[in-house]
Structures are given as structure tokens and as C-alpha cells.
């Protein structure tokens, strides 16, 4: 409370001094410099009167410790009574790449000619590509795999043409 009283007093005093030093017109530039000097002196004395805790400091975002509180959920009963002895929910949760079912969707591209006619005899594009599976798994970045779900065909059990204008073509420009 004492600090706010001191600050309010300084503000009122500085406003009073500034209001009496002002004039309706500027006579000389030296008077302007004097009023700026008085204003700067008042601001400096105000800054000096502030305690050190109120001075702004620069914070580094990495230095701020973030604590996430985990709320405990009370169910009203002990869940351990309903689980087998020695139950561990995380047991056996080992990620294995072999457990992922990969589906390769290969579109057949018709170029209009046989590409084998333009390749040397006995050409093998995969020749010399001996793959060490263990090394490949070690270098594999799981975040680089794009997982695409297969699209399901949805049948709506009604004919949509009844509800569209005659000659409607969604692909027409």
C-alpha cells in the first residue's frame, strides 16, 4: 500500500509540474529542451524509486519449468480387485514391424508399347540390390512411413440420379 501511495504521489507531482511548465505556444527551442530535461529527470527519479522486483527481466522460454498435473480419477472401487494377480497392462507391448500388414496398391500402367523391347537382353532392374534386413530396420524412421487406409466402397441403397438434374456430369468443366 505504501508503494502505491509513493507511485501515485510521484505521478501527481510530475503531472502538476508539467502542467505549470507548459505554454500555449513555443517561444524558443531552449525552453523545449529544458522541459524535456525536466521530464527525463522525473522519469529517471521514478525509475530509481521502483523496487528491483518490478523492473522487467528477459525470460528464456527454455528456462520455464512446465509441470503437468495428473488428476487422479476416483472410480469408487479398487480396480485391482477385478484384475488377475500380477496383471501388467503394459506387458508384451513391444513394437514389431512384422506385425504391420502392408498392402501395396499397384496400378497397372499401359504405355501402349512393350518396354522389354527397349531394354537389353537379360536386364534385371533389381540386380545387385542385396538388402540386409537388420541394417534396414535399424535405419528405418517410423515417422517417415505414410500409412494410408484402404478406402471402402460405400453403397447407399438408392439411385442418386433421381435427385440430380438431367445431364448432370460432376466431372464437366
Contacts 24+ apart (CB under 8 A), 75-82: none
| pTM (predicted TM-score) | 0.18
- Residue 24 in this model has a pLDDT that exceeds 70: no
Average pLDDT, the chain: 78
Enter the DSSP assignment of 77.
Answer: S
> How many CB atoms are located within 10 Å of the residue 167 CB?
6
The whole-angstrom separation of Cα 158 and Cα 144 is: 41
Classify residue 122 as left (phi > 0), alpha (psi -120 to 50) or beta: left
Lowest mean pLDDT among 7-11, 97-101, 123-127: 97-101
Task: Tell me how far the alpha carbon of residue 53 is from its chain's centroid.
Answer: 33
| Helix, strand, coil share of the chain (percent; to 5) | 40, 0, 60
Which is more confidently placed, 32 or 162? 162
CB 46 within 8 A of CB 10: yes
What are 84-119's pLDDT values in tens digits?
888 888 887 777 777 777 777 778 888 888 888 888
Average pLDDT over residues 19-31: 60
| pLDDT band at 141; cut points 50, 70, 90 | confident
Percent of the chain with pLDDT over 90: 0
Higher-pLDDT residue of 148, 40:
40
Amino acid at each position: 500500500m505504501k508503494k502505491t501511495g509513493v507511485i501515485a504521489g510521484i505521478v501527481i507531482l510530475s503531472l502538476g509540474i508539467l502542467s505549470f511548465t507548459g505554454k500555449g505556444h513555443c517561444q524558443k527551442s531552449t525552453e523545449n529542451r529544458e522541459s524535456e530535461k525536466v521530464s527525463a529527470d522525473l522519469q529517471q527519479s521514478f525509475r530509481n524509486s521502483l523496487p528491483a522486483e518490478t523492473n522487467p527481466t528477459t525470460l528464456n522460454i527454455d528456462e520455464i519449468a512446465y509441470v503437468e498435473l495428473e488428476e487422479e480419477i476416483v472410480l469408487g472401487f479398487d480396480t485391482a480387485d477385478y484384475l488377475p494377480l500380477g496383471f501388467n497392462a503394459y506387458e508384451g507391448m513391444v513394437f514389431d514391424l512384422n506385425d504391420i500388414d502392408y498392402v501395396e496398391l499397384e496400378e497397372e500402367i499401359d504405355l501402349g508399347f512393350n518396354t522389354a523391347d527397349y531394354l537389353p537382353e537379360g536386364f534385371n532392374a533389381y540386380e545387385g540390390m542385396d538388402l540386409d534386413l537388420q541394417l534396414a530396420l535399424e535405419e528405418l524412421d517410423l515417422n517417415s512411413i505414410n500409412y494410408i487406409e484402404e478406402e471402402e466402397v460405400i453403397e447407399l441403397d438408392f439411385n442418386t440420379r433421381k435427385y440430380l438434374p438431367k445431364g448432370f456430369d460432376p466431372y464437366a468443366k
